[in-house]
Amino acid sequence: MEKLIETLNETFGKTFEINHISKVEIDSRKIGKDDVFIAINNGKNYIQEVLDKGASLVICDDSHWKNNNKVIVVEDSIKAMQLLAKNYRQKLNTKIIGITGSEGKTTTKDIIHGVLSSKYKAKKTLGNYNNHIGLPFTILQLKEDDEFGVIEMGMSHKGEIPILCEIAGIDYGVITNIGDSHLEFMINRDNVFEEKSQIKNYIPKENLFIFGDDVYLSKLLGNKIGFNSENNFIINNYTETSEGVKFSLNNENYLFKLNGKHNCINASIAISLGLSLGLSKEEIQTGLDSVQVTPMRFEKIVKNGIFYINDAYNASPVSMKASLETFNNIKFDNKKLAIIADMGEMGADEIKYHKDVIDFALTTEIDNFILLGERMKKALENFNDERLIFCNSKEEIKELINKKYKDNIILLKGSNFNHLWEII
């Protein structure tokens, strides 16, 4: 990683006696010989430990280490990491694809990475490392021979997307949709759109890929993907099967292993980008087949003879309804049980949004629903339907499943703070 060593020297105005860097780390438990450790948050408590492990360099904002020649003391270690990442990115020939949107960022990132990997050397954001800490950390994981970096960009407050775009130096941009995520901070969808669409200011319009059926995104200039005939890339013949979703895009047929209309859209965005970057249909389908999806995204799991669909990484009204609609449309011989839990960051109208989700759930043919969480409990006061069951805890849900629903196909959907995966 010669360019990283070069960047360290230039960023901090000093020549470090380092011949080799294995990787950059922010987790002291993962430090190995020749690693660079950036001590953020409480990482400063482990500096001696990482030096003992053989770290080549430590960056921290603890002045107690100013006399150690293996430690760079800075004013703010997070800002130092951001600056280092920005400078390092400028030395790389890697093309960066930035992905934002209210829902579907992580899955779309996984699909784009899978598609590009059929032809190119590509790296992606690990998990959901998509904020002001995770994004620069991801940039610092890139190697000099990586041809593409597929980078997720999350936000919850105004002004965050421009910061991430500037650090990443994006070449291509993707906006999946505009929904109701983060309304606690962003107040309304207009503000969400204004912030997410900032990505357009950092790339030419021909390098922007967006869901064209979205009422907000349809206003932007770029490559539009969707079901409407006005789009540049038109989805047709969308069908749910036990293998996943089958569909055509501009009259070419594709199969993707994750169910759901939203995943059909996510895959279509990835295909459109792949075609624009010179991949053949065959290379794209090979990439789709090999996609490694981040866990808890409509993940099918059989445990102790019970079939679960774990879609419980996160939730918003849009993704809740999409998950329920998909679950409703997949044909199973068994009855269906949906466990739906609280959504976070919904702002002042949070109970209204929970009522809307319950309303939508009752329009489906799903056999029964178990609700969990204080917000769902308040929303439930407006309903009297025998399909709706409220439980006070996950333990109570487990008991109910073992007693009554072991033969059901069970969907789990709710915000991550509910830890619904503990039920499995």
The span from the CA of 193 to the CA of 191, in Å, is: 5
Of 289, 322, 349, the domain-final residue: 289
Q: What is the pLDDT of residue 17?
A: 81
Same domain, 262 and 177: yes
- What are the angstrom distances between the C-alpha of 84 and each of 28, 100, 330, 368, 392? 19, 23, 47, 52, 47
Helices (H) and strands (E) in the chain — how many of each?
Answer: 14, 19
Give the angle subtended at the CA of 107 by the CAs of 227 and 185, to the nearest 5°. Answer: 90
Phi, psi of 79 (to 5 degrees): -65, -35
Tell me whether residue 406 is in a domain: yes
- Number of structural domains found in the chain: 3
Tell me whether residue 309 is in a domain: yes
For residues 334-344, b (16+ Cβ closer than 10 Å) or e, as one string? eebbbbbbbbb
Same domain, 414 and 348: yes
Tell me whether residue 86 is in a domain: no
Write the DSSP symbol of residue 293. P
Tens place of pLDDT per residue across the chain (424 aa): 789 999 999 999 888 888 889 999 999 999 999 999 999 999 999 999 999 999 999 999 999 998 998 999 999 999 999 999 999 999 999 999 999 998 889 999 999 999 999 999 999 998 778 999 999 999 999 999 999 999 999 987 889 999 999 999 999 999 999 976 656 666 688 888 999 999 999 999 999 999 999 999 999 999 999 999 999 999 999 998 878 899 999 999 999 999 889 999 999 999 999 999 999 999 999 999 999 887 888 888 999 999 999 999 888 898 899 999 999 998 888 999 999 999 998 888 999 999 999 999 999 999 999 999 999 999 999 899 999 999 999 999 999 999 999 999 999 999 999 999 999 9
Handedness of CA 243, 211, 97, 36 (dihedral sign): negative
Q: For the domain that residue 258 is a member of, what is the CATH number?
A: 3.40.1190.10
Same domain, 285 and 358: no
Q: What is the pTM of this model?
A: 0.84
Tell me whether residue 399 is in a domain: yes
Q: 330 lies in which domain range?
A: 299-423
Whether the CB-CB separation of 56 and 21 falls below 8 Å is answered with: yes
Whether the CB-CB separation of 411 and 327 falls below 8 Å is answered with: yes
Same domain, 303 and 419: yes
Q: What is the pLDDT of residue 13?
A: 87
Whether the CB-CB separation of 139 and 150 falls below 8 Å is answered with: no
- What are the angstrom distances between the C-alpha of 87 and each of 42, 142, 168, 170, 203? 25, 13, 10, 13, 19
Tell me whether residue 87 is in a domain: no
Beta strands 299-303 and 306-310, pairing class:
antiparallel
Q: For the domain that residue 6 is a member of, what is the CATH number?
A: 3.40.1390.10
Same domain, 10 and 157: no
What is the rounded average pLDDT for all residues in the chain?
94
Same domain, 20 and 69: yes
Of 230, 255, 289, the domain-final residue: 289
Note the Cα 10 to chain centre separation in Å: 33
Tell me whether residue 294 is in a domain: no
Same domain, 313 and 248: no
Which of 265, 307, 318, 270 has its CA nearest to residue 290?
A: 270
Same domain, 217 and 271: yes
Q: For the domain that residue 355 is a member of, what is the CATH number?
A: 3.90.190.20
Whether the CB-CB separation of 52 and 68 falls below 8 Å is answered with: no
Of 289, 315, 349, the domain-final residue: 289
Same domain, 123 and 269: yes
Collapsed DSSP state (helix, strand, coil) of residue 187: coil
Same domain, 245 and 303: no
Same domain, 193 and 333: no
Same domain, 215 and 235: yes
Which of 151, 139, 137 has its CA nearest to residue 98?
A: 151
Q: What is the pLDDT of residue 350?
A: 93
Phi, psi of 275 (to 5 degrees): -60, -40
